[in-house]
Amino acid sequence: MTKILVLNGPNLNMLGKREPALYGKETLDDVIQGLRERAGTLGVELEHVQSNEEGVLVSQILASREKFDGIILNPAAYTHTSVALRDALQAVTVPCVEVHLTNTAAREEFRHVSLTAGACLGQIMGFGAMGYHLALIGLVQYLKSGRGPG
Ligand code: DQA
């Protein structure tokens, strides 16, 4: 069965409590629960990891090479700073879709640059939790079309 790793970066464990006007009232558990239901309808398996530590996220990406067909990644603040995450994505070549709850292009200037997006298949932002669903649908379609591994 197709296996997808959902990887969430720093402070996303605070969803629901963290700036709800910006990030919504749903908790991360709520978001992942909804995404698991979507995965069920698409016939794929999901594994979810959230970490506040850059090194843990890097290690998860590197280990995904053996275990996963695709990655859905919200690198959160590391989007704008992490050469290490970008290098990890380039090292494994597992297709990755970058997700942001908010439209980072419409926010502070330091959020306009994504160091990680260039190592991804694509990027979805500004649709809140729905972005994870759109990423999953796109990624599964991409894998099915034979344009990727798995
Ligand atoms: C975010 C956007 C980032 O700029 C921010 O640091 C986050 C969340 C988003 O999902 O909108 O933590 O990745």
The pTM of the full predicted model, rounded to 2 decimals, is: 0.96
Query: Considering only CA atoms, which residue is closest to atom 13 of ligand 1?
Result: 76
| Rounded distance between C-alpha atoms, residue 77 and residue 70, angstroms | 22
Res 31 pLDDT > 80:
yes
Number of separate domains in the chain: 1
Segment 128-133 mean pLDDT: 98
132 falls within a domain? yes
- Whether 132 is a known active-site residue: answer no
Ligand 1 pocket check: which of 22, 51, 52, 74 to mutate, most ligand atoms within 8 Å of Cβ? Answer: 74
In a domain? residue 17 = yes
Residue 57 maps to a domain: yes
Per the annotation, the verdict on 48 as an active-site residue is no
Alpha helices in 43-145 (DSSP H): 54-67, 83-92, 130-144
For 50-62, write each residue's pLDDT tens digit: 999 999 999 999 9
**Ligand 1 centroid to residue 146 C-alpha, Å:** 31
Nearest CA to ligand 1 atom 3: 76
Residue 146 banded pLDDT, cuts 50, 70, 90: confident
Residue 149 lies in a domain: no
Q: What is the pLDDT of residue 149?
A: 47
Instruction: For residue 150, tell me if it sits in a domain.
Output: no
Percentage of the residues of the chain whose pLDDT score is greater than 70:
97
- Indicate whether 27 belongs to any domain: yes
Query: 13 lies in which domain range?
Result: 2-144
- CA 89/CA 91 separation, integer angstroms: 5
Radius of gyration from C-alpha coordinates of the chain: 14
Band (pLDDT 50/70/90 cuts) for residue 148 is: low
Other C-beta atoms closer than 10 Å to the C-beta of 47 total 13
In-domain check, residue 82: yes
